[in-house]
Amino acid sequence: MELVEKINRLRKERNAVILAHNYQIPEVQDIADYVGDSLGLSIQASKTPADVIVFCGVYFMAETAKILSPGKTVLIPDANAGCPMADMITAEELRKLKREHPRAKVLCYVNTTAEVKAECDVCCTSGNAERIVREAFRSDDEIIFAPDQYLARNISTRVGRDFIFWKGYCPTHVKILPEDIARKRVLYPEAEVMVHPECTPAVTELADKVVSTEGMMRYARETKTREFIIGTEIGILHRLKKENPDKSFYPVSERAACPNMKLTTLEKVLWALEEMQYEVTVPPDIISKAKSSLQIMLDH
C-alpha cells in the first residue's frame, strides 16, 4: 500500500517512533511501532533512540510523552483529538479544590492535562490505582482523587477508604449499560465479561473482571477462557483478536466508540511526518512539576 510505504520511508528519515493507543482504528494500530495504553506507550517511547514521537491517541497522551521525553519532538496527527474527561477539570479548579481541603493529598488519573498533573502529588493509571493508594499514601491521608468519579469509586470500594471525588467521567464508558451485559450474556453464555473501571458501578458489579486495557490484554492471553465480552472502547477488539486468534471477543456495546480516538487516520499520520505537524509543547516548569507526580508513581 503506497500510503504505508510513504509512512515507513518518512519514519526512517525522521528517526520517528509511531505510538498507537489501544482504541485507535485498526489500520493505525497496524502501522505503529508500539500499541498499548497511554502511559506504557510514553514510557516505551522514552526508552527509544527516536528523535520524533508520533502519538496516535488524544492530546493529554501526547503531553505525557513530552513530559517523559522533553528532548524529543512530539507530534499528534490530529490536534483536535481531545479527551472530554481530561477537559472536565482545569488546573484552577483543582487548585480551588485543594484550598477547600488544605490537608488533602492529590491523586490524579493519568487521563489529565499536563497542567493538572503539575498540581498533583501522585499520578496513577486505571491499572495501578489500587496499588498506588495502598503504597504511596498513609492510612490517615485525606485524598483528592480526580477527575474520574467512577474509577475513584471503584478503587474506594477495593481499598476500603473514602476519597474526595471530582465529578468527571468518560462519556464513552458511561454509554455501557447493565442491560448491555445482560443481553450479551444470553447470546454468549460461556463468555467472561471484562469491563474497564471507568464504567459505572452498575456495570462493574455485573462483570467477572474489572481491569484496565492492558489488564484485559494480559488476562485474555493467560487464561484458558475462550470467549470474552469486552466492556471498553471498541478499538481494543482489534488488538485482542490479533494477539489471540484462537479466542473470541464480543463488544458489550457498539455504542462504546470514542469519536476523538477515531480522528486519527493513516493520511494524518503521513501528513504529521511530512509537515512535522502538530507539535505538542509543554512549558518547562509544567514538565518539571508534572514529571514529579509521574515519577512518584513509577517509583512504586
Q: Is position 293 within any domain?
A: no
Q: Which three cell numbers stand for residue 86?
A: 481530561
Overall average pLDDT of the 261-284 stretch: 98
Percentage of the chain with pLDDT > 90? 97
Beta 34-36 vs 52-56: how paired, if at all? unpaired
- When pLDDT is cut at 50, 70 and 90, the band that residue 298 belongs to is confident
State the Cα–Cα distance between residues 200 and 159, nearest whole angstrom.
18
Q: Which amino acid is at 76?
A: I
Q: What confidence tens digit (pLDDT) does each residue in 52-104 have?
A: 999 999 999 999 999 999 999 999 999 999 999 999 999 999 999 999 999 99
Q: Is position 211 within any domain?
A: yes
Domain boundary pick from 170, 200, 217: 170
State the CATH number of the domain containing residue 138: 3.40.50.10800
Q: Which amino acid is at 85?
A: M
Please tell me what DSSP assigns to residue 94.
Answer: H
Could you give phi then psi for residue 20, rounded to 5 degrees? -130, 125
* Whether pLDDT at 1 is above 80: no
Predicted confidence at residue 300, as pLDDT, reads 81
**Cis peptide bond prior to 109, omega within 30° of 0:** no
Q: Which amino acid is at 264?
A: T
Q: Is position 300 within any domain?
A: no
Q: What confidence tens digit (pLDDT) does each residue in 227-237 have?
A: 999 999 999 99
Please enumerate, as own/partner, the contacts of 245-254 that have beta carbons within 8 Å and a separation of 24 or more.
247/220, 248/188, 248/191, 249/220, 250/184, 250/187, 250/188, 250/191, 252/176, 252/180, 252/181, 252/184, 252/193, 252/195, 253/175, 253/176, 253/177, 253/180
Task: Count up the domains in the chain and report the number.
Answer: 3
State the Cα–Cα distance between residues 139 and 160, nearest whole angstrom.
10
Predicted confidence at residue 55, as pLDDT, reads 98
Helix (H, G, I), strand (E, B) or coil at 164: strand
How many other β-carbons are positioned within 10 Å of the β-carbon of residue 241? 14
pTM attached to this predicted model: 0.95
Indicate the helix (H) or strand (E) that contains 18. strand 16-21
Q: What confidence tens digit (pLDDT) does each residue in 94-144 have?
A: 999 999 999 999 999 999 999 999 999 999 999 999 999 999 999 999 999
Q: Which amino acid is at 202?
A: A
State the Cα–Cα distance between residues 168 and 171, nearest whole angstrom.
9
Q: Is position 289 within any domain?
A: no
Q: What confidence tens digit (pLDDT) does each residue in 177-224 have?
A: 999 999 999 999 999 999 999 999 999 999 999 999 999 999 999 999
Same domain, 165 and 217: no
Same domain, 178 and 105: no
The answer to whether the beta carbons of residues 143 and 181 sit under 8 Å apart is no
Same domain, 77 and 15: yes
Q: Is position 9 within any domain?
A: yes
Sequence-ordered list of residues with C-beta below 8 angstroms from that of 276, at least 6 positions apart, any chain: 14, 52, 73, 75
Q: What confidence tens digit (pLDDT) does each residue in 4-14 have?
A: 999 999 999 99
State the Cα–Cα distance between residues 261 and 147, nearest whole angstrom.
19
Domain boundary pick from 121, 145, 170: 170
Same domain, 111 and 42: no
- When pLDDT is cut at 50, 70 and 90, the band that residue 23 belongs to is very high
Mean pLDDT score of the chain, rounded to an integer?
Answer: 96
Same domain, 8 and 66: yes
What is the CA angle 32-37-38, rounded to 5?
A: 90
Q: Is position 292 within any domain?
A: no
Q: Is position 277 within any domain?
A: yes
Overall average pLDDT of the 16-40 stretch: 96
Q: 221: domain range?
A: 173-251
State the Cα–Cα distance between residues 40 and 208, nearest whole angstrom.
25
Q: Is position 181 within any domain?
A: yes
Predicted confidence at residue 299, as pLDDT, reads 87
